[in-house]
Structure 1
Amino acid sequence: MRQLTIIFMLLALVSCGGNPRSGVDEDQFSSYWYQGKAEINVFDLEQYRYGEMREGTAVMIFVTEDFSRRKQVKLDNPQEAGADARKVLKLNMTREFITGVYPYNTMLSVFTPVYDEENAFKITASMTEWCGQSFTQMNWKNGSYRAQLFSYFESEGDQELKLEGPSEDEIFNTIRLNPSIVPEGDVRLIPSLIFQRFSHIPLKVERAKITKRKISGNQVELSLDYKTINRRLLVRYQEFFPYEILSWEEIQNKPDGSVERTIATRRNMEMLDYWNKNKLQDEELRRALGL
């Protein structure tokens, strides 16, 4: 029965974008990502904020879905969308932590095409805390990102920008497709939207360098170092498919010489059709995940 399901999914994909990206093994990818479930990863989070380390939780949810390339939203009826339908690997990533008396909640969503050699179609990021809300959305159209920023800070206000370059936030999805797709060497990237919200720096393309090194236990560490904003991202993942994300670390060198280090270490992973688990009795699943 499962084999028939996969066959029908593969047939449906013919109209959703053609051949997979170079480096993506279609058989491996489909058998894992087209099960009708999402991969839920729970991380212990040590988030640096306001000069102190805060304990919290991060969650990375990876799932494939049908996406409208033209409208850049999830399709309600992909079978009726024709050539507009695209398969994407979606990452929803949250962080929750407390600063003193009030909570922080962030969410990042990245929609990366599986069958198009293009940058992520859409990236959104939100941050909510007791002072207010901020939201950023970037849409990839005609070879560049159209970015919209909304903030409760007067100095940032509402902005519209055009950014020509790929985004750091897509690296997690690209690793999951195949780490070989992530280029090494000197690159130009849009820094993490969550980092941009935390740091309040202008949102623009920055110069960076990407390197990879194999470490013990069939693991690889990707290092992303920016030349101008004193930021470093380290991502540790499994060397072999499905290239699971095991940890990530953000390092920020401050002008006064201090170093702020945020670390997320995975403690649980489950494949789950969470959208069907919305009853009171399903709350036990959260406890099983450590949430």
Structure 2
Amino acid sequence: MKSNLIIISLVVFGITGCGRPERENIDFVEWGKYWFQGKAEISSFDLIQYRYGEAREGEAVMIFVTEDFSRKNQVKLDEPEKAGRDKISVLKLNQTRDFVTGIYPYHMMLSVFTPTKEEGLGIKFTASSQEWCGQTFTQMNRKGEETYTGKLFSYFEQEGDQSFSVEGIMEDDLWNLIRINPSEIPTGNVKMLPSLLYQRLSHREFKTEPAFIKLEKMSESRSQLELTYSSGIRTLKILYENAFPYQILEWEEIQNRPNGEKEITHAKRKAIKIIDYWKRNKLEDEFLRRELKLTY
């Protein structure tokens, strides 16, 4: 009996002691020189955002930065040096969108956390929207290979506060997978959960949909990801540099209306900066906003 217990313990140790395999086809020495230098990449974009059937001028910002994350709690670690095996390196994207509808403004934000070295899809996704009617917040956490549990807190009575789960790939993960290496992107037919920002604007149910992903080289220096939903309602196109660090240049979200009209949300990069922005919080640092051509 004792020997059996030892064998079982060794098996359990072997299962829990082995880490997930690393991503392949990535030179993490070169990768780390860019992403582990203790700074973030900030890009600003001119934004045309469709809302209530009309095109609105606005601004988008994308901030990419690596962080030490907790596997268990799925939050940023305060003391990563003490976390041991709970620590996992992630690439974080914070994307903001600011635009005005008539008299009142919209402030939207998406956050995505994806493992850097380890194989696997995004770990955590959050999205929030604030406008003069009220605010909403959505959070989704990975519980399996492609299983996510989520919660929505909303001021709309029909939505209320709700919990849900889905199985598939998160559309919002595609941004980070491009930046890690486009070879990490699953192509062909997939089960995809539409973007959390799109869900917020459309109020669609949280469920995965059949979709198709293709990567296409557009020129010697640029490639494009195209995601098309089988329903024909929506297409996402992301244009990026096809050499490391695969910077994102512009994107389009095409929504086909029942009457045949197309609503095209479009963003084009206007400035980029590599900087430790969390240390630049004094009045004298505001000139950096002008360098990033920020207006909101």
TM-score grouping bracket, smaller chain normalisation: over 0.9
Gaps of 5+ in 1: 1-14
In structure 2, how many angstroms separate the alpha carbons of the residues matched to 1:121 and 1:188?
Answer: 17
Q: Residue 5 of structure 1 aligns with which residue?
A: none
In structure 2, how many angstroms separate the alpha carbons of the residues matched to 1:186 and 1:206?
Answer: 10
Cα deviation, residue 229, structure 1: 5.8
**Residue-by-residue CA offset, 1:1-29 (whole Å, 9 max, x unaligned):** xxxxxxxxxxxxxx9x6764123220121
In structure 2, how many angstroms separate the alpha carbons of the residues matched to 1:167 and 1:85?
Answer: 23
Residue correspondence of structure 1 range 95-134 to structure 2 within 5 A: 95-134=97-136
Do the aligned partners of 1:18 and 1:115 also contact (CA within 8 Å) in 2? no
1:168 and 2:147 correspond: no
Q: Residue 59 of structure 2 aligns with which residue?
A: 57
**Residue-by-residue CA offset, 1:198-218 (whole Å, 9 max, x unaligned):** 011101011100011111241
Structure 1: which 4+ aligned runs deviate by more than 6 Å?
A: none
Q: Residue 196 of structure 1 aligns with which residue?
A: 199
- What is the total number of aligned residue pairs between the two structures? 276
Q: Residue 21 of structure 1 aligns with which residue?
A: 23
In structure 1, how many angstroms separate the alpha carbons of the residues matched to 2:72 and 2:262?
Answer: 43
Gaps of 5+ in 2: 1-16
Secondary structure (helix, strand or coil) at the match of 2:139 reads strand
Residue correspondence of structure 1 range 35-184 to structure 2 within 5 A: 35-143=37-145, 144-184=147-187
In structure 1, how many angstroms separate the alpha carbons of the residues matched to 2:73 and 2:293?
Answer: 36
Residue correspondence of structure 1 range 237-252 to structure 2 within 5 A: 237-252=240-255
Q: Aligned partner of 2:133: which letter?
A: C
In structure 2, how many angstroms separate the alpha carbons of the residues matched to 1:90 and 1:181?
Answer: 16
Q: 1:208 aligns with which of 211, 215, 219?
A: 211
In structure 2, how many angstroms separate the alpha carbons of the residues matched to 1:118 and 1:182?
Answer: 11
In structure 2, how many angstroms separate the alpha carbons of the residues matched to 1:195 and 1:229?
Answer: 15
1:287 and 2:290 correspond: yes
Q: Residue 8 of structure 1 aligns with which residue?
A: none
In structure 1, how many angstroms separate the alpha carbons of the residues matched to 2:232 and 2:124?
Answer: 24
Do the aligned partners of 2:43 and 2:271 also contact (CA within 8 Å) in 1? yes
Q: Aligned partner of 1:165: which letter?
A: G
**Residue-by-residue CA offset, 1:225-261 (whole Å, 9 max, x unaligned):** 0012611000000011000000010000011211100
TM-score (norm 1): 0.92
Residue correspondence of structure 1 range 209-288 to structure 2 within 5 A: 209-228=212-231, 230-288=233-291
Percent identity over the alignment? 55
Do the aligned partners of 2:236 and 2:253 also contact (CA within 8 Å) in 1? yes
**Residue-by-residue CA offset, 1:108-147 (whole Å, 9 max, x unaligned):** 0000011222221100000110011011000001341111
Q: 2:188 aligns with which of 185, 195, 199?
A: 185
Q: Which has the larger radius of gyration?
A: 2
User: What's the C-alpha RMSD, in Å, of the aligned pairs?
Assistant: 1.3
Cα deviation, residue 189, structure 1: 0.8
Do the aligned partners of 2:92 and 2:113 also contact (CA within 8 Å) in 1? yes
